[in-house]
């Protein structure tokens, strides 16, 4: 199995160990910008970084919930109806 195939299998796995990478990267970039802004006393960079970090964390959580939790509960409900 190639690395790409392994990463795709891990990403599609329903165990819930992988977040969507876009919001996670946005949150990480926002946290780094927040740190630089606070260290350099640059208010606009700290505020923008904090907002980007918050949006990344919230979007990652919502996408994780929509991708894994809803599909899992839907299948469980379908199994209970049988």
Q: Where are the domains of the chain?
A: 20-81
64 pLDDT band (50/70/90 cuts)?
A: confident
Sign of CA dihedral 21, 25, 26, 31: positive
33 burial via Cβ count (<10 Å: 0-12, 13-18, 19+): buried
pTM of the full predicted structure?
0.62
Q: Which of 8-17, 39-48, 63-72 has the lowest mean pLDDT?
A: 8-17
């Amino acid at each position: 199995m190639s690395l790409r195939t392994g990463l795709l299998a891990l990403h599609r796995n329903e165990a819930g160990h992988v977040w969507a990478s876009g919001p996670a990267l946005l949150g990480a970039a926002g946290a780094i910008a927040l740190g630089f802004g606070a260290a350099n006393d640059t208010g606009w960079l700290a505020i923008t970084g904090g907002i980007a970090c918050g949006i990344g964390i919230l979007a990652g959580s919502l996408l994780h919930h929509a991708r894994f939790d809803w599909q899992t509960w839907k299948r469980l409900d379908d199994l209970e109806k049988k």
